[in-house]
Structure 1
Amino acid sequence: MPNLNAIQVKNIKFRYDLRLDHHVLSDVSFVVEKGKWVSIIGENGSGKSTLARLLVGLLPPESGSIFINNQLVDEQSKGQIRKKLGIVFQNPDNQFIGTTVEDDVAFGLENQQLSYEEMHNRVAEALKVVDMYEHRAKDPSQLSGGQKQRVAIAGVLALQPEIMIFDESFVMLDPLSRRELLESLQLIQAQYDLTIISITHDRNEAALADKVIVLEQGKLISEGAPANIFAEEKKLTPPFAEALRRRLATAGVSIPNHYMSEEELVDWLCK
C-alpha cells in the first residue's frame, strides 16, 4: 500500500545559536496525511514559525529529518521540493515583486513555461478566490494590509502547489474576510486534494482543521482532532463555539457535556 503521508517529521532538533544549549525545537515528530488540513498552535516562542521554515528548507535541522512526499529534504533536494510547496508569511510586504497586482501573482509562474492563456487563467482564478480580481491593475503599494495579504495568498494559489503552508497568514484580515477566505480555501483543498499546514493563534481557524498539533517551548505536547485537543487540553483557549458552550453550562443551561463545533452548537441552539 503506498505511503499517503505528504509530510513526515522525524525527531527534529533545531537551535539558532549552536553555542547555546537552548533548542527552539526538541525531538519534534509528526506526520501529515495527503489532502488533510493541519493547524499548528502554541504560544509565542513555541517554535511554530521556525518549524515552517524547516519544512520548506529555509533552515536546516540540527538533527532529525523531514520528508516531503517521501523525499528527504536536504541541500540537494530542496530546490525540487519547493516546487511542490507554497508558503505565505505573516508580512505580505516581504513577498511583493510586481508593479501591479496581477503582475505580482504571475511572477512565480513565469519560469514554468506556461502558455500566456494558461498563466492568465491561473492568475484570474487565484485573484477571484481571494476576492482581489477587481484590484488586479492596482499598484500593490496602494493596497491595505489585508488586501496585500490576499494578493500574497493568490500568488501561491496560482502556482497550484501540492502543499500550502500559512504562517499566521490571516492575522491582518478582518473576521468576516478571514472567514470567507478560509471557506474558499476549504473548497480548493477538497477540489485539488491539497495539503494545508496552518500555523495560527486563531482557535476558530484551528477548529476547522482535520488535526491540531500543539507546541510548547519547542516540544510537541499534543496532537489530534480539534474536538479531542480542545476537550482534553483545558489550558488551551477554546474556539468561540466551545467557549460559549462552557459558559452556558456554567450558567446552568442544560447543554451537552462535550466539545461542540460551531455547526453543532448552532444546530443545538436552533432546536
Structure 2
Amino acid sequence: MNTIKTTITKMLPHAKITPHWSAARGHSDHGWLNTYHSFSFADWFDPNLTHFGSLRVLNEDRVKPNSGFPTHPHRDFEIFSYIISGELTHRDSMLRRGAEGGQSDKFYRMRRGDVQFTTGGTGIAHSEQNEHAHETVHFLQIWVIPWKRGLAPRYHTRRFEDDEKRKGFVPILSPLKGGPEAASEQEKLAEPAIDGTIPIHADFVMGAGLIAPKGKFEWTVGAGATESSRRKVYVHVPMAKKGRAKIRVDGREDIYSEGDGVFIDGVQAGDKLSVESVGEVEAEVVVLDTA
C-alpha cells in the first residue's frame, strides 16, 4: 500500500508532486557493484528521466570490499558522493598508492557523514575504491549540470554529523559566491553561499536530515541561497533501514518508502516543504533543490 486514508492538509497546494517509485528506477547488479539509477545512466535509458532541472544523476550504489571504480575521467559535471555506510576511498589519479599521506582533498577515506565533491570542469581523473577488507560501502553518487562549461577542476571534502541531521535538514551544498561570473579570486576562495557547506557551480542546494518516527522537518525552498525564484525539489529516501523507514511529503496522501523519490515542481524560493517520518524507524532523507 502506498497510500493511507487520513485528513490531508497541503502546505503547498500550488506544488505539483509526482512519485518516483523505487521499482521504476534502473537497476544493475555487476557482482562487485549493485546500483540503482533514478535517472538515465549507463545502459539504462528512460526518455522521461534524463534530468530534473540541473540534477542529472542520482545513483544509489553498494560496492563490495576490495573493489570499486578504477581511475576514470570526468568532465563538465559537478559530482559528489554521500556516504550512508561503510568506507570509500577517493584517490586522485596523480597520487601513487601507499604515498598518499593523511586525509586531503586529493586523497580522502570517506565514512558515514562524509561528502566528497568534484568539479570535473576541463577534465579530471580519480578512482573510488572500497579498500575495506570485509564491509560493503553504501553511498549516493549525484551529478549536477554546472552553470557553465570549461571550469577549473577542483575537489572538496567535508563531514556532516548525524547529530545535526537529527535537529533538522542540514545544508550540504550551496552555490559558489559570485555565481556564473565568479572572479578567479572567488573561485580560489571557494566560499559557498551558505557557511559550512560545499560550494557548487550551479543554482542548486542539497540538504539531508534524519527524522525520528512521527517527527517532521521543514525545508525552505531555495534555502535563502539560490538565484532563481522558480524551483524544483527532488526528495530521495535512501535504502538504509531495511525498508522500515517511510515518509510523507507536504502532508499529502502518498507514503514513500526506502528507494522512492519525489518530484516537486511549481514551487518558489521561500516556500516551506514539510517532510514527515511515518515509518517505525528514523528516516534518512536527502533534498535536492534546483532551478
TM-score (normalizing by structure 2): 0.29
TM-score (normalizing by structure 1): 0.30
Q: Larger % of strand: which?
A: 2
Q: Larger % of helix: which?
A: 1
